A = this chain, B = another copy of it.
Amino acid sequence: KEKGFKLYSSKDYFIDGTEGFCSGNLPENVELLLVLGGDGTFLSVAREYAGYQVPILGVNLGTLGFLTEVELKEVEDAIEKIDKGQYNIEKRQMVEAQLIRDGEIIEKVVALNEITISKGPLARIISLNTYVDDVFLECYPGDGVIISTPTGSTGYSLSAGGPILTPALPVLVITPICPHTLHSRSVVVSNKSEIKVILTTTNQEVVLTIDGQKGIGLKSGDVIKVKGSDLFVPVVRLKGKNFFDILRLKMNNYSNRRLL
């Protein structure tokens, strides 16, 4: 693989013949991030290195994904193409959230798929007073609410009944989880809008989850402010494969899995 490239690898997964770096501290001259894994791995790397704005190439080790672009055996070819400039960068919108407790910001997070506020299995119905640009939208009594990017619209939001959003749209979608107000529906808003969620329920286990991977416990009275981030993940695209093609294939995969 060495044709004049300098290789680095995260010290967490050190690879022989490469120069290591500490997780989260990308060396300055890195021009391409290779992520080996599935969409889940891609999500966590995207969050960690989003600030660097280095293009990411997803190398698929598992089942077909929306974010991974090539299979392991295609990596060398891929890097050659990238070296020759035969690729596109698709900028994927991230979403950011502030957790405010007693008037103070105590956490700031970004996600590529979605920010979820949801209850534990034994918690009672929670109420989440939700505002868009300070206008009251809904109190969403139920299991919780998902605020998803277009990238995340094919994930948890879809399972909860949300629409599919094509990747480049400047929007976010608010999708309730098992709402008790039966007329609750997904609401699509601008990525410039500020979505404010206030947890009014007391004494229940409620968690803010980032891309389904990291969780922060919430308390009654907590305010969560969510909006489109200024950060976009630069995803390397090499092939002619289209969003709708992958969508169709994935939906089909789900179906086939049912027969096993």
Neighbouring B residues of A188 by C-beta, 8 Å? 163-166, 169, 171, 188
Q: Decide yes or no whether A135 CB sits under 8 A from chain B.
A: yes
Knowing A116-B121, A121-B116, A139-B257, say if A185 contacts B170 (CB, 8 Å).
Answer: no
Neighbouring B residues of A182 by C-beta, 8 Å? 158-159, 182-183, 185, 251, 254
Q: Cα distance A143–B120 when bound, in Å?
A: 11
Q: Cα distance A251–B161 when bound, in Å?
A: 19
Q: Cα distance A161–B178 when bound, in Å?
A: 8
**Interface residues of A toward B: which range?**
35 or more
Q: Decide yes or no whether A78 CB sits under 8 A from chain B.
A: no
Q: Decide yes or no whether A13 CB sits under 8 A from chain B.
A: no
Which residues of A come within 8 Å of B, CB atoms? 116, 118-122, 124, 132, 135-139, 141-144, 156, 158-166, 168-171, 173, 177-183, 185-190, 193, 207, 209, 212-215, 242-245, 248-249, 251-252, 254-260
